[in-house]
Amino acid sequence: MKSKGIKKNVAVIGAGYTGLTVAYRLATKGYSVSLYERSDLLGGLVAGFDLDGIPLEKAYHFLYTTDKAAIDLAKELDVYDDLTFHDSSISTYYDGKLYPFMTPVDLLKFTPLSIVDRVRTGLVGLYLQKLTNWEPLTKVTALDWLTRYNGKRATEIIWTPLLKGKFDKYYDKVTMSWLWSRIHVRANSKETTQEKLGYFKGGFRVQTEAMARAIESAGGTIHLGVDIQKIVPAHDEADGRMTIVTDQESSTKTFDDVVATTPSHVLAQLTQEHPSMTSEYRTKLTSIDYIGAAVMIFSTKQEISDYYWHNINDDEVPFLVLLSKTALSGIESTGGRYIYYIGDYVTHDHRYFSMEKQDIMKEWKDGLRKMFAHFDEDQIVSEELFTFKNAQHIVDIGYEDKMPEYRTPVEGLYLANFSQIYPDDRGVNYAIKEGEMIAQMVMDDKNKKSQSK
């Protein structure tokens, strides 16, 4: 038996925002924490890099004014002064034309729809914003619900392109509850009709690095570039501890508890040799489908558009969304350059995961040229492209029944990833909230065990 007074040893797998939050909370509460990350960077989908000397993220992120968990954490870490909120602007590109899409008046001026369909779309949007009983929406796909209530024409023009761009071949499988959550959260984040979005001066790495410093200051250790191979029972312990076996002998260690923030199917692979992992839970881990993403970021001397967010509802353009960071936070924040993100979601077998980066970027720049005749590729100063294999989970009918529980059948082993943020979707704020919740769960379970002895 372990002697009383020894700090509980906890491993956290994955240094995205959920893993970072878990490690931060437990380390600052006196736990001995080891944080493992396969890549060389902290932050997961919010990991940073430099482009043209400008600190950015590999995938676009922002905060809503209502993202209380993220804002409170920024205050706690003393980086809140670096967080600024800016006026957002949204447009929709359809049939070769860019339309503003921010206010009810903009919707009424959206001439590809008849006036009846425009009014109907506005009423449906208002209904979804006010709706609180979302459970019935888990039983119907977004495509079927929208076709019925918003009409076939509006669904084909507004919603189907977005669903196809976001979910590829799964576009007709996603439940209406998923779409409700996105609309509900975004609409209710507005204090007025003007949406404001938050971004850190210096990028999200400001908060990421502040958490890392706090973890290490509290005695935690961070292992970057470590590939975990399996989680097995400890050979020299009789009290249910686990050993994390890595590709590096120095980081292979035994722990009281393990919190995995990996995609669900990854935990299934890591626990193949653990006798306490049940087939029922393993089925849940492997039944959730994930889709990948590709993101291009480039800096240019040219202002291509003065909108921040561009929804692409046109089959002639080979990507889902175009974002102008400069339009959101101002050119003074981007070193005098204009910074743009292009993003698309694709299945794991998509050609983007085997193509050369330059070929993908060429294809997308051709798409930009279709959207904006004035786009000048020669004005681009720097460009980069990243791919992510598990960027979005598929919330289909019956999803709530196959969603894995946070406490796994292996005592002391927890799972926390964005597939469990339900009915809400992934995002920085939800990742932090989930990390807070799991850290508290670990502490509560420890206290229960201590009281039962």
Cα angle 421-212-28, degrees, rounded to a multiple of 5: 80
Mean pLDDT of the 126-144 span: 95
For residues 57 and 204, is the Cβ–Cβ distance under 8 A?
yes
Whether pLDDT at 3 is above 70: no
**CA dist., res. 407 & res. 209, Å (int):** 29
**CA dist., res. 10 & res. 115, Å (int):** 59
The predicted pLDDT at position 450 comes to 76
**CA dist., res. 262 & res. 417, Å (int):** 6
Predicted TM-score of the model (pTM): 0.93
For residues 298 and 382, is the Cβ–Cβ distance under 8 A?
yes
**CA dist., res. 102 & res. 123, Å (int):** 15
* E strand intervals along 212-279: 221-224, 228-233, 242-246, 253-255, 257-260
The predicted pLDDT at position 1 comes to 38
**Torsion sign across C-alpha atoms 166, 169, 171, 174:** negative
The predicted pLDDT at position 291 comes to 95
Mean model confidence pLDDT for the chain: 93
pLDDT tens string 97-124 = 999 999 999 999 999 999 999 999 999 9
Whether pLDDT at 344 is above 90: yes
**CA dist., res. 303 & res. 65, Å (int):** 27
Whether pLDDT at 189 is above 90: no
The predicted pLDDT at position 453 comes to 62
Whether pLDDT at 6 is above 70: no
Mean pLDDT of the 39-53 span: 94
Mean pLDDT of the 24-38 span: 97
Confidence band, pLDDT 50/70/90 cuts, at residue 374: very high
Mean pLDDT of the 48-68 span: 94
pLDDT tens string 222-268 = 999 999 999 999 976 557 899 999 998 887 899 999 999 999 999 99
The predicted pLDDT at position 152 comes to 97
Query: Which domains are assigned to the chain?
Result: 9-47+204-288+399-452 (3.50.50.60), 103-187 (1.10.3110), 195-201+290-393 (3.90.660.20)
The predicted pLDDT at position 429 comes to 95
